[in-house]
């Protein structure tokens, strides 16, 4: 067993899974073939217990990859997950089993952003288009075990539906705020859109409040209760 011959360098704020996929496909492999070669099981995503072997295989610092793969641990009596330096309450906060991409970003810069691995992120604030989690051609959900970051398992290029449904400016601001919190170190300005929420609330906590109540559109608005999966993130 050898490390991969062609070394790929990580990009800034790149997804851990996206990076490993990019490194594997540069070397003519995919996740399931590489897992068999490393004698690791493969289901849908990298297990946090296997990060060291994957980082060795693709020749990247294991702390760098560990930072970008959700890792579970018992914290104050319940399971929590570490991802990009923040804590998250449950595995349902992540999109790792059903990855999503901005097809325009992928075409332009050829790597996946770590923010796309979050359930609460549904669009690209740069291109103002919804993220794609289903192949436009074969209609199957995207997988990490695909032949390239810009290719579906059906071997056709990932593309988004056209015309696109219009994006909501408030959701763009939410995604911008999440991206900033996820990737920047130090104090953050609290977005006025989230006025009234304690600034020390985590990204995960803020997301759950938004799921429960939605977003204010004007001052002193009384927000109706919403239900999981509806309302803010359509």
Interaction site with Zn ion (CB under 5 A):
102, 104-105, 124, 126-127, 135, 137-138, 152, 154
DSSP string, 153-213: TTSSBP---SSPPPPPHHHHHHHHHHHHHHH--S--PPPGGGTTS-TTS-HHHHHHHHHHH
Distance CA 75, CA 176 (A): 29
Q: How far is the CB of 154 from Zn ion (least distance, A)?
A: 3
H helix runs in the chain, sequence order: 16-26, 31-38, 51-58, 62-67, 103-109, 169-183, 203-213
Q: How far is the CB of 123 from Zn ion (least distance, A)?
A: 9
Q: How far is the CB of 130 from Zn ion (least distance, A)?
A: 10
Q: How far is the CB of 128 from Zn ion (least distance, A)?
A: 8
CA angle 111/112/117 to nearest 5° reads 170
Q: Which residue, 55 or 143, has its beta carbon nearer to Zn ion?
A: 143
The answer to whether 115 and 100 are in contact (CB under 8 A) is no
């Amino acid at each position: 067993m050898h490390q991969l011959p062609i070394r790929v360098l990580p990009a800034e704020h790149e997804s851990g899974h996206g990076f490993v996929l990019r490194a594997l496909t540069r070397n003519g492999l995919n996740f399931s073939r590489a897992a068999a070669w490393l004698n690791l099981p493969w289901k849908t995503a990298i297990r946090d217990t296997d990060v060291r072997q994957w980082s060795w295989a693709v020749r990247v610092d294991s702390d760098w990859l560990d930072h970008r793969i959700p890792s579970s641990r018992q914290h104050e009596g319940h399971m929590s997950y570490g991802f990009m330096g923040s804590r998250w309450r449950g595995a349902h906060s992540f999109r790792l089993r059903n990855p999503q991409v901005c097809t325009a970003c992928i075409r332009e810069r050829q790597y996946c952003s770590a923010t796309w691995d979050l359930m609460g992120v549904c669009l690209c604030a740069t291109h103002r288009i919804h993220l794609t989690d289903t192949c436009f051609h074969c209609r199957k959900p995207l997988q990490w075990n695909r032949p390239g970051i810009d290719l579906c398992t059906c071997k056709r290029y990932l593309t988004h539906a056209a015309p696109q449904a219009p994006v909501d400016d408030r959701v763009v601001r939410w995604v911008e705020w999440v991206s900033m919190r996820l990737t920047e170190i130090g104090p953050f300005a609290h977005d006025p859109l989230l006025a009234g929420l304690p600034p020390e609330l985590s990204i995960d906590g803020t997301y759950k409040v938004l799921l429960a109540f939605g977003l204010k559109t004007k001052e002193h608005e009384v927000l109706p209760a919403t239900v999981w999966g509806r309302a803010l993130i359509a």
